[in-house]
Amino acid sequence: MIRAMPRISLPTSFSSSRSTGSAGPAGPLGTLGSVVRHEASGALRSRLPERGRTRPDALPDPQAITPVRQRVQADAERAAAFARCVGAAQAEHVHAGFLHTLTFPVSMRVLTAKAFPLPVLGLIHLENTATVHHPVGADEQLTVRSRIREFGRHRRGITVTVLAEIWDESGRLVFSDESLYLSKTAAGDDGAPTAKTDRPDPREGARLIGRWRLPGDIGRRYAAVSGDANPIHLSAVSAKAFGMKSSLAHGMYCASRALGLLVSDPGAAGTWRVAFGSPVFLPAAVDLWKVCDPEPDGQTAVRGIGRGARQHFEVSFGRPS
């Protein structure tokens, strides 16, 4: 039992929602409970071969894992609290990062299903690509659907891509969100460790535009507005219980906050991409570097860089063509 974990305040229900499928967990604590139950079931050990011997064709067909659909509401009060947490100005549309949080508990129901073969605790969020097809207003009634798009191989293990989509009441697709996760429970193709490679200095071709000073409690604050109550983000004590040296900032907190550096309305139509690198251990100082030359398609990008020129993330945004 973790006795020294600080007292935190998390919402018991992240949004006003009505499930159209089987009953799901209520809020972040319910989601965390589902994760714990999934881990306790030993799903990975019972379904995957010995470490380092997994082949792509040994993985399940994504179609065998049932998608989850759920009705949700883009609650205005919670959307405003999310915007304040990530430092976004009040805007006409709800923040794209908030739309991601609406999909998160639905996706977690997919990831904690009995048929899902990987442990959820320990999944590493590598990339996220989200598209706002049509901006969403506060208090809109929406439908979220999440499913496993594909499994794949990575030099460090197995990847899983989760696709979540949101439709408005008219049936129009307004948001799509594709998350790529890595499970390091299996080795690379030959089971051998991967040699480190030299990486270019992420500051090259970019200019310094600011610095964030992230306090030790930002993980708890973001958990309260996002519903992501993963213990590695909540306190140093709970993070150390899972093998971390300290608590980590949520990757999607950093991505959502960085989006505000690239576009005045973070809920505007467009595609928002983030690639995660070195974790941000709290408390932390993160320097923000804006890429000087936009991509050929007009996308602009900002990088979060820490000590030793370690890149924590790169976030880009592009308007629809």
Task: Check which CATH number belongs to the domain holding 286 and give it.
Answer: 3.10.129.10
SS3 5: coil
Rounded to the nearest 10 degrees, the angle between the axes of helix 218-226 and helix 76-85 is: 160
8 Å CB contact between 266 and 88? yes
Flag whether 69 is in a domain: yes
Asked if residue 29 belongs to a domain, the reply is: no
Domain total for the chain?
A: 1
Count of CB atoms within 10 A of residue 201's CB? 10
Does 10 map to a domain?
A: no
Query: Which residues of the chain register pLDDT less than 70?
Result: 1-57, 185-197, 295-298, 321
Q: What angle do CA 227, 186, 36 make, to 5 degrees?
A: 30
Count of all residues that appear for the chain in the document: 321
Residue-range definition of the domain harbouring residue 284: 65-186+199-318
Output the pLDDT for position 313: 98
Predicted local distance difference test score (pLDDT) of residue 184 = 87
Q: Residue 167: which residues within 8 A CB-CB, separation 6 or more?
A: 142, 143, 145, 173, 174
Q: Which pTM value belongs to this model? A: 0.82
The answer to whether residue 175 sits within a structural domain is yes
Residue 17 lies in a domain: no
Residue 52 lies inside a defined structural domain of this protein? no
In a domain, 237, yes or no: yes
Look at residue 246 in the predicted model and tell me its pLDDT: 95
Q: What is the pLDDT of residue 91?
A: 82
Q: For residue 31, what pLDDT is reported?
A: 55
Question: Does some domain include residue 87?
Answer: yes
